[in-house]
Amino acid sequence: MISVDRLTFAYPDQPPIFRDFTWKSAVCAAWAVIGPSGCGKSTLLYLLAGLRQPAGGQIFVDGQPVPRPRASTGLVLQDYGLLPWATVWDNVALVMRMGCFYRDKRTEGDAPRPYPRSDITSAQIEHWLRRLGIFDLKDKYPSQISGGQRQRTAIARSLLQQPNLLLMDEPFSSLDALTREDLQRLTVELRQETGVTTVIVTHNIEEAVYLGQCILVLGRAPNTEARVIENSGAGCPRFRSQPAYAQKCSEVRDALAVA
């Protein structure tokens, strides 16, 4: 699904964040990416999304290079990315409208289609609003709903594209503890239902261990190797109450201490 081969990337007039960095992910995997501030967590997500391009090396998603954003990659941001003047329904339906606008666009050869799907229906919008428990809020504006409800709206919009890769950049960090745990649990359920590969950036050790079946630990720049912690218990019911959860949190904490 994801293949990062000898990636090198730096912002203008800055030292490299990644240098000859290689990392691979299988299909249907659940990844958490964690590391200290400024280590390149969000940058890696934007590179996978095609929003930034490497200075060296290659990135492949689903066997194809990523020279620009692809329609089958969903991106959920910390600040939700919602249009403040649009209702919950219209924010989610934006994908459908863009798909209609780009309906006649074509790509060359077998290049992945960068444009949103053109076959999305109102029934599919309603399905995801109901599945995420926000259908009754469909006529509300972002300013009229809670942070957790705004994040559910953003997730619904991403899943409407039927992505095979879902990228999430610290999506729950600004939420209260109970709402955060509720959305973490929902994320696990949605991944299991859809089979989407997830990559979630977080600065929270407990969240990384709960969500990531594999945990990518980044260190101080430049990152030159992928340090991966296997975490088979992630996503299992009651995992947080098991001794293995506390042990894995300690393992990740120790890895961060030397990152």
CA distance 150 to 153: 5
Average pLDDT over residues 78-93: 93
CA distance 46 to 223: 16
pLDDT of residue 104: 54
Answer whether 153's CB lies under 8 Å from 135's CB.
no
Lowest mean pLDDT among 75-79, 97-101, 196-200, 204-208: 97-101
Which residue has tokens 């990523």?
A: 66
pLDDT of residue 120: 83
Of 57-71, 112-126, 184-198, give the range with the top mean pLDDT: 184-198
pLDDT of residue 43: 97
Structure tokens at 171: 């999506």
Which residues face 165 on adjacent strands?
73, 197
Q: E strands along 179-236, which residues?
A: 197-201, 214-217, 227-230
Answer whether 255's CB lies under 8 Å from 227's CB.
yes
- Amino acid 199 reads V
pLDDT of residue 35: 96
The model carries a pTM of 0.91
DSSP character at residue 117: P
Concatenated DSSP letters for 149-167?
A: HHHHHHHHHHHTT--SEEE
CB atoms closer than 10 angstroms to residue 103: 12
Q: How confident is the model at residue 99 (pLDDT cuts 50, 70, 90)?
A: low
pLDDT tens digits, 191-212: 999 999 999 999 999 999 999 9
pLDDT at 110 over 90: no
pLDDT of residue 69: 85
Q: Domains of the chain (ranges plus CATH)?
A: 1-72+163-259 (3.40.50.300), 84-162 (no CATH)
